[in-house]
Amino acid sequence: MLKLADRLDLGSSVRKDMRVRVSPAALAGALAMAGAQHNAPYNIPKEGSLYVEVTLHSLSDVSKEVEIRATAQELEPHFDKAFRGYQAKVEIKGFRKGRAPLELVKKLYGDLIEQDSLESVANELYRKAVQEKELKPIGEPLLVDMDYKKGEGVRFKIKYDVRPPVELRSYKGIPVEKVVHKVSDQEVEAEIARLQRMNASVEEVPRVTGSEHIVTVEMQELDVGGVPLIGKKSDSVRFYLADPQLEQPFKDALQSAETGGEYRVKFEHQHGDHQHNVHAALRVKKVESVTLPGLTDEFVSKITKGKVLTVEKLRDDVKQDLIAYWNAKSERQVLNSVTGELIRRHDFDVPESLIRSVLAGLLEEVKNESPNKQLPKDFDAEKFFQENRAYAIYQAKWALIREELIRAEKITVEDADLFKLAEQESSKIGIDKERLVNYYKSSDQVKDRVVGEKLMKLLLESAKIMEVEEKQPVL
């Protein structure tokens, strides 16, 4: 439905950039092929001898505009319907609710009701134009101009996006590098140590005597002059001194910490491609000694619930898990390289509505991952959109290319594909295979996933993959 902003003072003025309130289609569902576009007017037959004139304008490969003109006679039945709807709910002094004469309602509220009903008029005429001319818009249309003159008629201009033309370039035989990570014994031992820490016991002690300690502090951030920053105090921050990820200045400051003692840290923290200063006062609230369990067969059997019985078997299983992890990571990097190269080879404009759809989905993900599924009060949505716009363009562009590739390769989902998937997942999720197959047959999401996997398999099988050893960091 078209939402007309500031509906009470529209009059005959022009209102810019008013958004059409239609539900944003899912990204995949929004990619319908656009119909032919022309700039010649045509008429939509209405009841009797009345006509609505529609003119189409092409703004770009992905942006179009429809101009709709309706006469005063065409508007009359819409206005009459609106008058009667308002009559049924309006309260006028001297009359029971809904009993005021229609002519009195028109006299008192006629102009306002006419302007307000333009919302449904624009919506109906736009949808009719879409159907008659097979416009096939995607995303959310925008009402960018409206001119209503009482007794004469109305003119709407609605901007909408269409699917861009995508001419497939070479997409087979793409050269990519596959980084090979060799799992070391040190990695295996570090993972086993992590398992020991997860099952460690703790005991409160008065002071730190080694690295296997957890120190809980009240941390107050300070400015460059050492003055406490208001609102920058954290009551209970836990530092595990044996954690290899813990910055060394914290380890140094707390290496002999005592309960009730106060300590300071001041250093530059490097995070990705930027850094910031850390200056804080730490007041120790509690010190705990960590006792790691011995690495024995009994320990192994306990943490694996009897699935693994010896230390050596645990080491072997951990190594295989790490190998699988790094292989999966490497394969994802190869997939990203292939899709990235395909996007680089295809240069076309992306509809703004698709970009907005991706950004809206990203924002929804952030919301769902937030406490109580509510964004923080100070969350800057506009900044979030700006920071993620490049990623949204990338994803929208890939969705368009992906659809063209699926069409070009005639990739479909067969019953055999769904049976195979059910066999793989039935035991994992504890649902009967036949029930899963029936569900998969009715799920567009599952079918899209299967099609996508088929496409990526085709692209990877045809790619020229060169394995390279991972570069070890210089110590």
Name residue 155's beta-bridge partners.
Answer: 69, 147
Tens-place pLDDT, residues 369-379: 888 888 888 88
Residue 326 or residue 51, greater confidence: 326
Residues with Cβ within 8 Å of residue 217, at least 6 apart in sequence: 236, 237, 239, 254, 282, 283, 284, 285
Q: Can you give the pTM of this predicted structure?
A: 0.68
Radius of gyration of the chain (CA): 33
Residue carrying structure tokens 């060169």: 466
* Mean pLDDT across 327-344: 94
Least confident of 13-17, 168-172, 375-379, 465-469: 13-17
Tokens 């996007």 sit on residue: 343
User: What mean pLDDT comes out for the span 251-272?
Assistant: 88
In which band, very low, low, confident or very high, does the pLDDT at 204 lie, cut at 50, 70 and 90?
very high
User: For residue 273, what pLDDT is reported?
Assistant: 61
- Check if the beta carbon of residue 214 is closer than 8 Å to that of residue 202: yes
Alpha helices in 26-98 (DSSP H): 72-87
- In this structure, is the dihedral angle defined by the CA atoms of residues 456, 462, 464 and 470, taken in order, positive or negative? positive
Looking at 39-48, 256-265, 356-365, which range is the least confident one? Answer: 39-48
Overall fold of domain 201-291: Chitinase A; domain 3 (3.10.50)
Residue 143: predicted pLDDT: 86
Give the pLDDT of residue 260.
93
Q: What percent of the chain has pLDDT over 70?
A: 87
Q: Residue 69 above 90 pLDDT? A: yes
Q: Do domains 7-161 and 201-291 have the same CATH topology?
A: no
d(CA 153, CA 290): 81
**Average per-residue pLDDT in the chain?**
84
SS3 263: strand
How confident is the model over 303-326, as pLDDT tens digits?
999 999 999 999 999 999 999 999
| Percent of all residues in the chain with a pLDDT value above 90, rounded to a whole number | 55
Residue 29 has pLDDT above 90, yes or no: no
Which pLDDT score, from 0 to 100, does residue 284 have? 94
Please state, in angstroms and rounded to a whole number, the distance separating the CA atoms of residues 59 and 271: 44
Cα–Cα distance between 144 and 290 in angstroms, integer?
66
Distance of CA 130 to the CA centre of its chain: 29
Which band of pLDDT confidence, cut at 50, 70 and 90, is reported for residue 419? very high
Which amino acid type is present at position 182? K
pLDDT at 110: 81
**Do residues 257 and 208 lie in contact, with contact meaning Cβ atoms separated by under 8 Å?**
yes
Measured in whole angstroms, the distance separating CA 52 from the mean position of its chain's CA atoms is: 40
Most confident by average pLDDT, 43-47, 99-103, 208-212, 222-226: 208-212
Q: What is the DSSP letter of 182?
A: P
Q: Which of 142, 148, 149 is nearest to 126 (CA)?
A: 142
Residues 27 and 361: beta-carbon distance below 8 Å = yes
pLDDT at residue 23, as a whole number: 30
Find the length of the chain.
Answer: 475
CATH number of 328-469: 1.10.3120.10
Asked if pLDDT for residue 387 goes beyond 80, the answer is yes
- The predicted-structure confidence for 144-197, as pLDDT tens digits, reads as follows 888 999 888 999 999 999 999 899 999 999 999 999 999 999 999 999 999 999
Which among 84, 293, 92, 63 has a CA at the least distance from the CA of 163? 63
pLDDT confidence tier of residue 462, bands split at 50, 70 and 90: very high
Question: Which of 92-101, 157-166, 436-445 has the weakest average pLDDT?
Answer: 92-101
Counting beta carbons within 10 angstroms of the beta carbon of residue 129, is it exposed (0 to 12), middle (13 to 18) or buried (19 or more)? Answer: buried
Query: Is residue 160 exposed (0-12), middle (13-18) or buried (19+ Cβ within 10 Å)?
Result: buried
**Does pLDDT of 263 surpass 50?**
yes
DSSP 359-417: HHHHHHHHHHHSGGG---TT--HHHHHHHHHHHHHHHHHHHHHHHHHHHHTT----HHH
Question: Is the predicted pLDDT of residue 38 greater than 80, yes or no?
Answer: no
DSSP 8-state symbol, 17 = S
Domain boundaries, the chain: 7-161, 201-291, 328-469
The CATH class given to the 7-161 domain equals alpha beta
pLDDT interval class at 473 (50, 70, 90)? low
